[in-house]
Structure 1
Amino acid sequence: MTDETDTPTHDPMGPDEGTVRYDGPHGGWGSMEGMYKVLRETGGGPEATKTLLRQNKPGGFMCVSCAWTKPANPHPVEFCENGAKATFWEQTPKQCGPDFFAKHTISELKEWPDYELERVGRLTHPMRLDREADRYVPCSWDEAYQAIGTELKALDPKSTVFYASGRASLETSYLYALFARLYGHNNLPDSSNMCHETTSVALKKVIGSSVGTCVLEDFEHCDAIFFFGQNSGTNSPRFLHPLKAAVDRGCKIVTFNPVREKGLIEFVDPQNPIQMATRKPTQISSLYLQVRPGGDIAALMGLCKHLLDAEDERGDVLDRDFIEQHTNGFEEFEAAARGTSWEDIEREAGLTREMLKSAADVYLGAKNVIGIYGMGLTQHTHGWLNIAMFASFLMLRGNMGRKGAGISPVRGHSNVQGQRTVGISEKPELVPLDKLEAMFGFEAPREEGMNTVHACEGILDGKVRAFIGLGGNFVRAIPDIRRMEPAWERMRLTVQIATKLNRSHLINGEVAYLLPCLGRTEEDLQSGGPQVVTMEDSLSCVHGSVGKKRPASDSLRSEIAIVAGIAKATLPENPNVHWDAWTGDYGLVRDLIAKTYPDEFHDMSARMFTPGGFYRGNAVRDRVWKTDSGKAEFIVPNTLYSGKVPDAPGRYRLITMRSNDQFNTTIYGFSDRLRGIEGKRDVLFMNRDDIRRAGLVVGQRVDLVGDAEDGETREVCGLEVLPFDLPDGCLGAYYPEANPLVPLHLHDELSQTPAYKTVPVRIRAGNAA
């Protein structure tokens, strides 16, 4: 895509001039203003602000936004801009009840943008679809339970899908998974399938752990942090506090990301009066390299080659004792690294040998190194190789299984890791089915269930007849939306459990129910009194959460009560299954979790308010490797490109991006402050050289056309071309609006995580503005 005779002016070591950008730091007064705007928009008052003071603290409630850990000694204000926005939206006095649905047809609401749907307010009453009237109409809870149960009993269990977003508590997740297996299937896809399932598969393969190895204390002892494809500033802003502390004590941070994200460049701590007064930021990354999308394997291979060269010169670079005692496959990996040409590495990474040497020198100068990554590594067709290469890079110097070192994926939604821990998995081998059978007196299904991609394929070919969604916005989040929506409406039953209206609630089966649940900030009062729920953060610590706010409606029910109500109406009586008792006292559910997973969850109720959470443990920290070989595995990559569709003239690599004013598919507003975008989302980010080479002008409206060469037509039309600091041949567009361009079949080869970060597209030019 780059004309070899046309020297590009884009500089991967620094920002381009003349591009759309934000010149201020992350945090500071900009974050305060962003929070205030959402507070004003949602109609929250002093009570909403007061609730924030309990957020992410022992005895308080856990944020429904990101999964970043909660410190044992919290700041007076332990929330970030996005966390505050999520809490304000949950506490809005605006309501979306029967009166609203009486005024608007489903067909009309389908034309509303995502933001307008969410801002209607909290769902207040159970609703059923009246297909003839094209509206939701109110119904009683008992009516909903019985109707859903009747439909499920009439279907083959294996034709149904029970999806879970990352917000459901450990208690709800455990019962939801139990319901699915008592009913007769393992079709339990979750939001992890769309983001970090690659982590679960790749880390399990190479180090024997499906989750990261670091704890918060490690960030106090590391000498360097290497970031790949993770945007802390937008996706987990509270992480910036330990990063700032690390930098202040001399830790070096090296970042590899196609986009120069403000949070990893400079940060003003809103809780630091001096920084707020002086507006002088902390420089976070000492080196920021804009790797090409899909070029991470190549970049990591380049780093490894530099380490091997340094070993040849000095002889003390590699941790030979660690490699010999704890790893397998080093000789093959070393030979592959030495045999890979710099020409291939530079071409695929979009970085020079000298740039990579600068990064390798930081690594060589550090005793303890932590590797951080996000969906910039996981959402590729060879995403698992990205992670395997990252682990191999860290293992070369023994940065695994010791204090201040390790690999640490930063997860997204607040309990997305935890729900997998307690049984929400389509993979039966990951669940103690024998123990469940003994506890509950049933024969558990043993066939592998459907993940997100398999469920979508089943909906397309008609094999899936029912979908129950425990939170989330599944239809909006998945690839190939234009193909999926018509197929979705051919299902027999769809059920959505949610707090607020979103597009998934408007794409319905023949029979459909919309069931409103309590939010995490709200008091959950059951027959046994006020209840507590728990969740697991991305560092494997478990925290209790107590809501105190009066519920938005007296008609709301907890997620546990809703799951139990549907299960009771669906399943035959079982003397070992006590839905009513579990609904009345969540402590009984925690006892079940502790009995099912005793090593990790023993005395769960007694430990759930441990400051900083109680740690589940990780064998890798003791250098115990639960792999097939009993050792950590060096993996030789068979490609330097983590995408699938090769480059071709006129073909670009599209990355889908989230704005500063959204979390997952929830759009809080139209301000992407940290990228300098205000008031719009229909934009195409493109570097100045590519704009010129394509014969386009800034402000021109263009269409993106999918270029997967599979015979399907995919397009997103009317995007405004904006000059942005990106590598050559790389485009950016907002998620979820760009999802129609992502082919369902374009996914990681092992985990089936959709490849949202290397989407092959072409530009169809419209008229200049």
Structure 2
Amino acid sequence: MAKDNNTENLESKDPKDENPYNLTGKLKVSDPEKKAAGFTAVKVSLENLIDEKTLLRGGKALFSMNQFTGFDCPSCAWPDPDDERSSLGEYCENGAKALAAEATSKKLDPEFFQENSVYELSKLDDLKIGKLGRLTHPLYLPPGGTHYQAIEWQDAFNKIANHLNELDSPDQAAFYTSGRTSNEASFVYQLFCKEFGTNNMPDCSNMCHETSGTALSPTIGIGKGTVKLEDLYEAEIIISIGHNPGTNAPRMLSALEKCKSNGGKIISINPLPEAGLFGFKNPQEIKGMLGGGVKLTDVYLPVKINGDMALLKALEILLFEFEKQSPGKVLDKSFIQEKTVGFEEFSKQFSKYKLEDLSVECGISVQQLREVAEMLAFKNRIIICWGMGITQQPNGVDMVKEMLNILLMKGSIGKKGAGVCPVRGHSNVQGNRTMLVNHKPTDEQLDTLEEVYGFKMPRSHGYDVVHTIKAMHEEKVKVLFCMGGNLLSAAPDTNFTSNAIKKLNLLVTVSTKLNRGHLVHGKEAIILPTYSRSDMDIMDDEVQIISTENSMGVVQASKGVLKPVSNNLINEMQIVCRMALATFGEKSKVNWKRFHDSYDAVRDDIAKCIPGFENYNERVRVKGGFYLPNGARDKQQFSSSYNYKAPFTISDVPENRLEDDEYLMGTTRTHDQFNTTIYGMNDRYRGVHNERRVIFMNEDDIQKAGLKNGDKVDLFNYDNNVERIAPLFIVVSYNIPKKNTMTYFPETNVLVPIDNIVRGSNMPASKYVKIKIKKHDPKIYDRIEV
């Protein structure tokens, strides 16, 4: 990191400034860390349990999290080992933070809401809102109301049913799903929507890995990864691109460590250097906590934002060069001939590219590119892992296909130690989609449901997240039901989204804790409290199991261990069933009471409707669960559109042109958050403490703009001639490519235009936002919504 007089103990200048954005005035900046996890991670995990007043309660639960007879972590979707699991704890620091947050002993009872208005609560920052405690009763905000008030469960369902039944069309309702929802709840939820008559099912996939599925489904025949956890151990090369596993999937570091110990090499590609890829101190081992750690990355390529396509094309050119030098030893010609189509046309495109030009576009020297290509040239057990640094680029679909092109050239898919590995975020986001939570269900899926349930399924595609927000804004969607999550904070174009939500007749959220999404609401609002993943889900005096699917296609049981914070909670599946009973009455073709009373009954129906779930109830109770079918992984069977072969695809290299006063901004997480949930104010791996409203900039850019480290600035986006403003950020000098900047979400989601999307997947392109940076003007608040 470049240093000046303020860098090592950087403080914002006017800590007593009054502002509506909760700038702390306590920013401290230190050098970024070079290692992740270790004893500090254990210490921070314990501190979070203490802060949530759940040291004993939550500490006990930690030893059951991700164990064979325990519950699935409510945080990321990284898979658990199939064989042995650590007795010290099969979880990471951020998993422990997520557990502490939901295992908290703090409660929000009806009296709390009598004493605190929605407006007063909205003035709190996201950290304070999240720390308030668990919800204990259903809550209702009437038209014109200022305070949420307690409501009986049945009264809540009756109000929801009345709103739904009064709509002119089923498509005037939308049903959002968060990744925390179990397979069973997801299945009944999508079935309710289809019986209601709509496919308006936006979900969190629409904001994280819709891009991956959009690219992979038509090319390899499945919209998921093709590797198992053990494949990472056996890989010769793992490429991590557009991903920060040290924060977003910390348990991945253990797999990378095993790869290294087996002689594998790791290449990391990202605009920011991330501590977890440079060093790892394994907290599951004594020597890991106390030792110096393991260096993971062999090569780090600091690619420019959206320079990834140029980088990938350069590697392909170099692989062709190595093949000419060593015929038959670089490209897998037999795989290409037998398992792919379109190779000749694909290979002809490279005559129009110059390696030197691609080097400039991606920001990586030709020498470094050649070094990486040589590492790949004579290996074929290659895995490419990616995250939202790829999927949230405007050309993200093309880049996923381009990464697949490299693997197809090498024959590196459908074999041990090789394949594609999109690293999913929330713990059951992949399971939601498998359970048919999809705004674009296939005719085959709908035909099966019609056969089983005997009613006509809606066939028109529904709204995804971006289209739902626009439809709310146009008052085409009047009722929004959110099964978990915090759509407001996760969505792009915050002011546009909040104004759209305010136009709703009814907003319903199923939640465990309060978040900002409850404080920007429709004309009426209802909050339905439910169990967390770690809570005992008790039906007929018996603790139930639910099931989830991890990033690598394993379906396994999850069984909570904690006594619920309130006797007035019901599980998500029962919430859906009771809403269905209130909405449909005796007209329904589905036996909702049967589902309401039995998870096993739901699983029996899933087995009838979804391939791969045969004998679901028996197989989910087997230790470690079961793998779903994966033709690309298991049989090298790819797209049915190409006679089960995989097509090579051709994509262009984008031109990323900026005006002199423009920068590209990407959004990222701090180490003290998971998705939109804020656990603390630190990002210790990047050396940022006590503050979130910072913008990472290259030191040369800072000086050229007439700024200095620690200056306060306002950020602007002007897409489509709309001025979007994110005020009062602090400049932090960082090792990032020139003209690139990085900020934290959700604070800068306000700058992400609703129409700044990924082509093909319609996801928000939050990693590619053109911004301007100006010195902070205290009068800026007169021009924006707060």
TM over 0.5: yes
| C-alpha distance in structure 2 between counterparts of 1:752 and 1:130, whole Å | 34
Write the deviation string for residues 93-117 of structure 1: whole angstroms up to 9, x where unpaired: 1011211111111111111111111
Q: 2:647 matched to 1:637?
A: no
Match of 1:288 among 300, 319, 334: 300
Whether contact under 8 Å (2:578, 2:596) holds in the other structure is no
Query: Which residue of 318, 322, 327 maps to 1:306?
Result: 318
**Paired residues of 1:345 and 1:640 also in contact (CA < 8 A):** no
Inter-partner Cα distance in structure 2 for 1:23 and 1:105 = 42
Distance verdict in 2 for CA 1:356–1:533, change over 3 Å: same
What is residue 62 of structure 2 aligned with on the other side? 52
Residues 527, 585 of structure 1: 8 Å contact kept? no
Preserved contact between residue 712 and residue 731 of structure 2 (Cα < 8 Å)? yes
Provide the C-alpha distance between the structure 2 equivalents of 1:407 and 1:396, rounded to a whole number of angstroms.
13
Structure 2, unmatched stretches of 5+, are 4-27, 779-786
Distance (Å, rounded) in 2 between the aligned partners of 1:90 and 1:661 = 15
Structure 1 stretch displaced more, 479-488 or 84-93: 479-488
Q: Does 1:35 align with 2:45?
A: yes
Give the whole-Å Cα distance in 2 for the aligned partners of 1:141 and 1:370.
49
- The 5-angstrom pairing of residues 430-579 of structure 1 reads 432-527=445-540, 529-574=542-587, 576-579=589-592
Instruction: Verify the 8 A CA contact 1:206 1:627 in the aligned structure 2.
Output: no
Rate the CA distance shift 1:159–1:767 in 2: closer, same or farther, 3 A: closer
* CA distance, structure 2, for counterparts of residue 9 and residue 148 of structure 1: 56
Deviation sequence 1:332-365 (CA, Å, 0-9, x none): 2211124311233122211111111111111124
Alpha carbons of 1:61 and 1:431: their partners in 2 closer, same or farther (altered >3 Å)? farther
CA distance in 1 between counterparts of 2:53 and 2:443 reads 44
CA distance in structure 1 between the partners assigned to 2:595 and 2:135 by the alignment: 25
Mark the CA change 1:188 to 1:430 in structure 2 (over 3 Å): closer, same or farther: farther
Q: Which residue of 136, 139, 152 maps to 2:164? A: 152
CA distance in 2, matches of 1:504, 1:227: 33
Q: Equivalent of 1:105, from 117, 128, 139? A: 117
* 1:285-434 equivalences in 2 (<5 Å): 285-315=297-327, 316-429=329-442, 432-434=445-447
SS at match of 1:387: helix
Partner of 2:612, secondary structure, is: helix
| Distance of 1:445 and 1:67 partners within structure 2 | 31
- State the partner residue of 1:268: 281
Structure 1: runs of 5 or more not aligned:
1-7, 11-17
Q: Are the aligned partners of 2:756 and 2:765 in contact in 1 as well (CA < 8 Å)?
A: yes
Q: What is the CA distance between 1:217 and its match in structure 2?
A: 1.9
The equivalent of 1:88 in structure 2 is 100
Secondary structure at 2:480's aligned position in 1?
A: strand
Per-residue CA deviations over 1:490-511 (Å, capped at 9, x if unaligned) read 1111100000000111111112
**C-alpha offsets along residues 383-435 of structure 1, whole Å, 9 cap, x if unaligned?**
10110000001111100111110011000000000110011000021761111
| Distance 1:21-1:655 versus aligned 2 partners, 3 A rule | farther
| Separation in structure 2 between the aligned mates of residue 588 and residue 576 of structure 1, nearest angstrom | 16
Residues of 1 paired with 2:549 and 2:359: CA distance? 40
1:689 aligns with 2:689: no
Deviation at 1:536, TM superposition (A): 0.2
Q: Percent identity, please.
A: 36
Q: Which of residues 604, 628, 653 is equivalent to 2:616?
A: 604
Letter in 2 for 1:380: Q
SS state of the match for residue 437, structure 1? Answer: helix
How far did residue 658 of structure 1 move? 0.1
* Alignment-derived partner of residue 10 in structure 2: none
What is aligned with 1:580? 593
Matches of residues 623-662 of structure 1 in structure 2 within 5 Å?
623-630=636-643, 631-640=645-654, 646-662=657-673
**In structure 2, C-alpha distance between the alignment counterparts of 1:298 and 1:260, rounded to whole Å:** 19
- Deviation for aligned residue 1:567: 1.1
Matched, 1:163 2:194: no
Cα deviation 1:21-65 (Å, max 9, x = unaligned): 333510102211221221121111212111111111111100110
For 2:219 and 2:740, the matched residues in 1 are separated by: 30
Instruction: Write the letter of the residue equivalent to 2:196.
Output: Y
The question of 1:70 aligning with 2:80 is answered yes
State the alpha-carbon separation in 1 of the partners of residues 594 and 541 from structure 2.
Answer: 9
2:124 counterpart letter in structure 1: W
Deviations 1:661-686 (A, max 9, x none): 00000000101111111111011111
Partner of 2:210: 197
CA distance in 2, matches of 1:594, 1:681: 46
Q: Deviations over 1:254-298 (max 9, x none)?
A: 011011111111000012212323x31100110011101101111
Cα displacement (A) at 1:440: 1.3
**Pair 305,236 (structure 1): closer, same or farther in 2 beyond 3 Å:** same
- Summarize deviations over 1:603-645 as a string: whole Å, max 9, x none: 111111434431002101211112422321111112345xxx7
Distance of 1:426 and 1:532 partners within structure 2 = 28
Distance, in Å, in 2 between the alignment partners of 1:269 and 1:167 is 27
Contact 2:536 2:560 in 1 (8 A): yes
Q: Which residue pairs with 2:730 in the alignment? A: 720
* Partners of 1:536 and 1:543 within 8 A in 2: yes
Cα deviation digits, residues 564-611 of structure 1 (max 9, x gap): 1111111142574122221211011001111101x3111111111434
Q: Secondary structure at the match of 1:85?
A: helix
Amino acid at match of 1:243: L
Alignment of 1:606-625 (within 5 A): 606-621=618-633, 622-625=635-638
C-alpha deviation, 1:220, in angstroms: 2.5
Q: Which amino acid aligns with 1:178?
A: L
Conservation of the 8 A alpha-carbon contact between 2:2 and 2:733: no
CA distance in 1, matches of 2:512, 2:29: 39
User: Secondary structure at 1:427's aligned position in 2?
Assistant: coil
Per the normalisation by structure 1, the TM-score is 0.95
Give the deviation of 1:520 after TM superposition: 1.1
Q: Secondary structure at the match of 2:735?
A: coil
Please tell me whether the aligned partners of residues 19 and 688 of structure 1 are also in contact (alpha carbons under 8 angstroms). Answer: no
Deviation at 1:481, TM superposition (A): 0.6
